[in-house]
Amino acid sequence: MKKILIIRFSSFGDIIHARSLCKVLKESIGFEEIDWLVRSDLKGALEGEEYLNEIISFERNLGLGGLVRLAWSLGKRDYDVVYDAHNNIRSFVVRMVLMFFSSSKVVTRSKERIKRVLLFTFRINLFPKPYKAMESYWAPLKTFFNSGTTLKPIEWPLDPPSYLSKDLKEAIVLVPSTAWPMKSWPKEHWEELVRLLPNENFIILGGPEDIFCEEIKRVDPERITNLAGKLNLKESCAVAANARFIISADTGLQQVADLAGVNGLSLMGPSAFGFTTMGKMKTLEVSLSCRPCSKDGRGQCSQSVFQKCMVDITPRRVAREVSLFLRQ
C-alpha cells in the first residue's frame, strides 16, 4: 500500500478527528503518499500537516459537475486505498467514480444511522458512553493497524503568531462560539467566569461573525485579548494547540486542543458526538434525561429553560475547576 486518499469535506471538528490518523498512516502503516479531499473553506484545518502530501480542496459552488470532474481526475492517480471518512452524498459521488474508473480499495466510515434514529427519535442509546468520535475514524482502518498502534496526542506542526507566544504561557484561552446556538455556553456565563477569576488573563478565539465576544472583553479589557475575527483558521488552530489551558464547548477548536494534548475544560450539552479523547480535557456536563438530543447541537430544546444542559453548568463550577488546575 503506497497511496491513500482521505475524503472528509467538513465539518471542522470532524476533520480534526480524522486528522489524528495522518501520522500513524505514514509512520506505522507505511503509506508513502497521503492526500486529503476537503471543502475549500476548511482547508486551514489541515494546513501545516507534515504527513499530508497534498490537500485537495473543493469549491461547493462548482456543483455536481465540478465534483464529478474532480473525481475523474483523482481516478487517474491510482490510489491504493480511498478512505471515505465522510459518507455523505458528495463523498458517495467521488467514491463511485473512483471505484468505477480505478482499482482503488474503498473503505467507508459508517455513520451508524440506525443507532442515530434510535437515539434521537426513541431515546434508545446504543452508542458507547461517552461516544468518542476520534476513535470512530480509526475503526474502519483497523485491518491496516498492528496490535501496538494506539491513538496518541500529536505535536501540532504550526506555531501561533509570534506576538502571542508570551501571552499564551500566561493566559487562558476561551472559545465562546459554536456552530449551533443550543450547544453554546451563555454569554453571561463567560462574563461571570472572567469576574470570578480576577487574577487571570484571557484570550478569546472566534470568527468574524462572533461580535458578541467584544461584549465579553468589556468585562475587563485589560485582562482580555479578543482575537475573534482577527486570525484565520490555521492561526486559530495553532493558538488552541499551544494553549496553557483552554475552555470550550463542542467546537472544532476544542478538538484541536484535545488532539494536541492541551489541558482544559470541555463544556458538553446537547450534542452526542463531540466528547474529547486524549484525556487532558475534563468534561463538565449535567445529568438530564433529554441528553443527548442532537448529533451536533442543531434542533429545538425540549426544556422550559432553553439549553438547560448548558445553563446549569455554572460559572462558579467552571471557575472552581480552573482554580484546581492552577494550583497543581
Q: pLDDT, tens digit, for every residue of 185-238?
A: 999 999 999 999 999 999 999 999 999 999 999 999 999 999 999 999 999 999
Q: Quote the pLDDT of residue 166.
A: 79
| 135 and 178 housed in the same domain | no
| 191 and 310 housed in the same domain | yes
pTM for this model (two decimals): 0.95
User: Which CATH number does the domain housing residue 318 bear?
Assistant: 3.40.50.2000
Report which of 177, 237, 213, 228 is spatially closest to residue 49, judged by C-alpha positions. 237
DSSP per-residue letters across 209-222: T-TTHHHHHTT-TT
Question: What SS3 state is found at 35?
Answer: strand
Which residue has better confidence, 166 or 106? 106
Which domain range does residue 318 map to?
162-326
| 312 and 206 housed in the same domain | yes
| 52 and 94 housed in the same domain | yes
| 139 and 189 housed in the same domain | no
In a domain, 242, yes or no: yes
Number of domains in the chain: 2
In a domain, 156, yes or no: no
| 206 and 252 housed in the same domain | yes
Q: pLDDT, tens digit, for every residue of 32-63?
A: 999 999 999 999 999 999 999 999 999 999 99
In a domain, 153, yes or no: no
Last residue of one domain, picked from the residues 144, 170, 199: 144
Last residue of one domain, picked from the residues 144, 177, 196: 144
In a domain, 151, yes or no: no
Last residue of one domain, picked from the residues 92, 112, 144: 144
In a domain, 321, yes or no: yes
Grid coordinates belonging to 70: 474532480
What kind and span of H or E run contains 281?
Answer: strand 281-284
